[in-house]
Every structure is written in structure tokens, then in C-alpha cells.
């Protein structure tokens, strides 16, 4: 069964550094999403992406964040200058019909 | 108005019992209500979902009950098993499946 994959599974970075989180959505899915989950809290929407542009974004998704689909398979989330509060699990999802399929996540720790 | 409130935060059920998790929403524009199951270290996985034009949907041991007038929906897990021990999230979206707004999660433990 096709799955959403994410790399790396874990990332540790210093405050102020740039990080890029990578996702490979399920092929033939057209809608892509990033969510985050701070430890012990609920899953929060960050951004949705369709037809090579952002279709919706939350208040969390400020100028420090950007998304890109650099080729036909990858979907990336970049955080330009990480803050301590960016420490969270980041989930990528892709959608077919109504269903969003989530990847296993990247655990980001900002020191 | 975008919030989805979920209760309880944690739930302990004996094997074979019924687990019930409740969610409430305010935004009447929501038109799709999925439940996700999440095991530790994994991403959320869709369990079952409902649209507001039906009051109940059943898939195996899992049932969603939906009350449109009360703006509430709930997940019932019949014959709960230890393998059901996980965190369950309700969610809601407008435009059927777009941006998901999640509830706070319920950590379910099913005791053998």
C-alpha cells in the first residue's frame, strides 16, 4: 500500500539555523499539507499546497516558514531561522478525495 | 469558532468494554468529520469519517454518531481490545477534507 514518507525521522538543530524537512507524498495525490504536533498537544494545521502554490495557511505559518515542491515527487517545509518553540513533530500529509494520509513525521528538536 | 473540543483527555476501559469519545464543534461550515488513530511515534491514521447528512456510520467495531443540531459527534469502540490502546483525535474540515482542525486528543488504554 502506498505511503507518505518523510525524512529525516529526527533532526536536532541549533536555534537560528535553517532546517528543511522532506516529504514524498503518495503519487497521484494533488493536495499536500504540513501539520505540527508539539509534544503532548493536538495536531495543528500549518499549510496546504495545491497546483504549486499555497492554498491555505495558519497563523503559525509566518515568514520563517516556506514550502516547495522542487520536483515531481518531493514536498519540503523550510524553517529559515529556527526558534526553541519550533520543537515539535512535523507531519506531512497528502490527500485523495476526502482522506488525508499522514506520514510518520519528523521530530525536530531546537536547542 | 474554528475549535473542536474533545473529551475525555484520557480513558481507561476493560477489554471487551465500550470506549466512547466525544467531540463538539461550533463552525457550522464544517462538512467532514474524521477520526484519526495515532500510535506512539507514528503519524495519525484515518479510522473512520462521517458527513453531516447521516447520523451514524459503522465500520466493524467502530461507530461514529453525529448530532448536527447539537454540533456534536462521538466515536464508539465496541468490544475494545488492548490493541486499540492509542491516542484518538477527532477532526473537522470545510470543503470535505481540506485543512483539518483537530480536537485535543484522547489517550485510550484498554486493560486486558
Interface test with A, best of B33, B50, B100 (most A CBs within 10 A): B100
pLDDT per position as a tens digit, B76-85? 999 999 999 9
Q: Do A56 and B104 touch (CB under 8 A)?
A: no
Q: Is the peptide bond before A8 cis (omega within 30 degrees of 0)?
A: yes
The pLDDT of residue B9 is above 80: yes
The pLDDT of residue B2 is above 80: no
Q: Do A43 and B32 touch (CB under 8 A)?
A: no
Confidence (pLDDT) at B50: 95
Please state, in angstroms and rounded to a whole number, the distance separating the CA atoms of residues B58 and A96: 21
The pLDDT of residue A98 is above 80: yes
Mean pLDDT of A73-97: 95
User: What 8-state DSSP symbol labels residue A26?
Assistant: P
Confidence (pLDDT) at B97: 67
Mean pLDDT of A36-44: 91
Band (pLDDT 50/70/90 cuts) for residue A72 is confident
Q: Are B57 and B64 in contact (CB under 8 A)?
A: yes
Band (pLDDT 50/70/90 cuts) for residue B1 is low
The pLDDT of residue A40 is above 90: no
Confidence (pLDDT) at B41: 84
Mean pLDDT of B60-75: 96
Q: Are A56 and A68 in contact (CB under 8 A)?
A: no
Using alpha carbons, select from B5, B1, B4, B14 the residue that is nearest to residue B85.
B14
Q: B83 vs B13, B40, B77, B86, CA distance in Å?
A: 12, 12, 12, 8
**Chain mean pLDDT for chain B:** 94
Q: Are A38 and A46 in contact (CB under 8 A)?
A: no
CA distance A45 to chain B (A): 7
Q: Do B101 and A45 touch (CB under 8 A)?
A: yes
CA distance A70 to chain B (A): 22
The pLDDT of residue A70 is above 60: yes
Greater confidence (A78 vs A72) lies with A78
Q: Do A102 and B43 touch (CB under 8 A)?
A: yes
Using alpha carbons, select from B52, B62, B66 the residue that is nearest to residue B84.
B62
Confidence (pLDDT) at B45: 94
The pLDDT of residue A78 is above 70: yes
User: What 8-state DSSP symbol labels residue A82?
Assistant: -
Mean pLDDT of A14-40: 95
List of chain B residues whose C-beta atoms are within 8 Å of the C-beta of residue A97: 97
Amino acid at each position: 500500500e502506498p505511503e507518505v514518507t518523510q525524512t529525516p525521522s529526527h533532526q536536532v538543530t541549533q536555534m537560528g539555523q535553517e532546517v528543511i524537512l522532506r516529504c514524498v507524498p503518495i503519487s497521484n495525490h494533488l493536495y499536500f499539507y504540513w501539520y505540527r504536533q508539539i509534544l503532548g498537544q493536538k495536531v495543528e494545521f500549518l499549510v496546504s499546497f495545491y497546483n504549486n502554490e499555497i492554498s491555505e495557511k495558519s497563523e503559525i505559518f509566518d515568514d520563517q516558514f516556506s514550502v516547495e515542491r522542487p520536483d515531481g515527487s518531493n514536498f519540503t517545509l523550510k524553517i529559515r531561522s529556527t526558534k526553541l518553540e519550533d520543537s515539535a513533530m512535523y507531519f506531512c500529509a497528502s490527500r485523495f478525495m476526502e482522506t488525508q494520509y499522514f506520514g510518520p513525521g519528523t521530530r525536530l528538536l531546537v536547542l | 469558532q474554528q475549535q473542536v473540543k474533545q473529551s475525555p483527555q484520557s480513558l481507561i476501559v476493560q477489554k471487551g468494554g465500550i470506549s466512547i469519545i466525544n467531540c463538539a464543534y461550533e463552525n457550522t461550515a464544517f462538512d467532514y468529520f474524521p477520526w484519526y488513530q495515532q500510535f506512539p511515534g507514528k503519524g495519525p491514521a484515518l479510522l473512520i469519517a462521517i458527513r453531516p447528512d447521516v447520523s451514524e456510520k459503522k465500520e466493524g467495531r467502530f461507530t461514529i454518531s453525529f448530532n448536527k443540531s447539537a454540533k456534536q459527534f462521538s466515536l464508539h469502540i465496541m468490544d475494545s481490545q488492548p490493541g486499540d490502546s492509542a491516542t484518538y483525535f477527532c477532526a473537522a474540515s470545510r470543503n470535505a477534507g481540506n485543512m483539518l482542525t483537530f480536537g485535543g486528543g484522547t489517550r485510550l488504554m484498554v486493560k486486558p
